[in-house]
Amino acid sequence: MKIASWNMRGFNKPLKQRHVQGVLKKYNLSVLGILEVKVNVNLVDRMMDTKFPGMSFMHNFHMCTNSRILVMWDSKDVRLDVLGMSDQVIHVSVVNSVVARRPLWDFLINHGENISLPWILLGDFNCVRYPHEKMGGIPIAPRDMEDLRNCINRLELSDVNHVGCY
C-alpha cells in the first residue's frame, strides 16, 4: 500500500489533473491527499467522476470557503474510515483490503466447517486464486491469493467453471 500527499495549490486546471493521473499510475498509489486544492465544491463530483473514475474520495470543502483538502483512494486496495474532520484536517484510518478480508475468510471457514448439507457460496470477493485470473490493474499480492486458496481448501469447495466472456 502506497500513500502520498501533495500541496497542489489549485486542482481546477486540466494539466494539473493529468499530472495527478500520471503520478497515481506511476507510483501505484492507493491513497493520495491533495492540499490547497481550491476546487469549487459544485464541480468536484463531476471532476472526480470524469478524471478519476473508480477512485473514491472525500473532502472538507463544506467546512471552509477555499476547499482545502481532497483525499482520494482506490477502494479495491484500501478502506478509509473518517475519524475526524475540520477545516484544516481530515483524520482517517486506512486499512489494507488484504488485511480487511482476513476476517471474511475466518468467518467462512468457521461457518462452513459446521455445515453438513450441500452448500453454495457466492460472492464478489475482489480476489483471485491465481495471477492469470486477474486482468489489468494492480498486481494481486501472493498472500491475498494464499488466503483465498486456504479458505477454499479448508472448506473443500469447488470453483465452478464460468460461461461467456472471461
Overall pTM > 0.85: no
Q: Are the C-beta atoms of residues 145 and 129 closer than 8 Å to each other? A: yes
For residues 98 and 141, is the Cβ–Cβ distance under 8 A? Answer: yes
Q: What is the pLDDT of residue 66?
A: 73
pLDDT of residue 100: 73
Say what the pLDDT of residue 56 is.
Answer: 93
Cβ proximity of 97 and 76 under 8 Å: yes
Burial pattern 53-65, b for ≥16 Cβ within 10 A else e, equals eebbbbbbbeeee
What string of DSSP letters covers 3-18? Answer: EEEEE-S---SHHHHH
The reported pLDDT for the residue numbered 109 is: 92
Q: What is the pLDDT of residue 166?
A: 59
Mean pLDDT, consecutive 10-residue segments, the chain of 166 residues? 87 91 92 89 90 92 83 87 90 80 87 86 80 75 85 88 69
CATH 3.60.10.10 residue ranges for the chain: 3-96
Instruction: Kindly indicate whether the domain formed by 3-96 is annotated with CATH number 3.40.50.300.
Output: no
Task: Count other Cβ atoms within 10 Å, centred on residue 9.
Answer: 11
pLDDT at 97: 72
